[in-house]
Structure 1
């Protein structure tokens, strides 16, 4: 895959543009430093978007930002999702973390199994979770 350089959006998460099977793709990946000091992929923490899906994400950016502002600081579990393609969604999730015993706001860009529903209820392992500042 040929492409642009890595652009950091914080916390070892990078965005880059490349070609895959003669199609332009935008990839968002979590990378870690490998044994030889080279950056390598951190498990399944990535998502690849077509230009159409990327443009859909850009169109809902303001709504996502408003939802982040709306839920941040609340002590309640909430979720709102936007469809990027038939099986890819971006969502703002306000969850209770048992690890830190507090509510956190996260942005998920993820592929879903779509059973008989239009709602993103069955996430696959393919996707990435971002913090609001990313």
Structure 2
């Protein structure tokens, strides 16, 4: 775990397709946005995963994967699975979701790393983003 503004994660974010560019040319110091947030990174700083717990204007419910970028030798699905486990500890019984802009990804199967980690496609936004989710975790004590 690290903080919003971690230098390695900020560099990864700047290379992510969702990186917001300031029109006035300001230098970014933070990259996650408002709300409750958890920034995860590999020790080497070559992968970053960001959870946000906030009120999403789209109406989606749960904890949002706001950023995921992997330039490490680790399988993306393994990193997503680890991030899911951390989120389950922090926000038990919450759905996990993210958005994928298919045309911004080189893969012919956008979101496949999430699907390999146990997520599923569950719809599209009005602007054409794919919505992926991992439903509530199974609790064997219930």
TM-score, reference length from structure 1: 0.29
- Larger Rg belongs to: 1
TM-score, reference length from structure 2: 0.28
Greater percentage in helix: 2
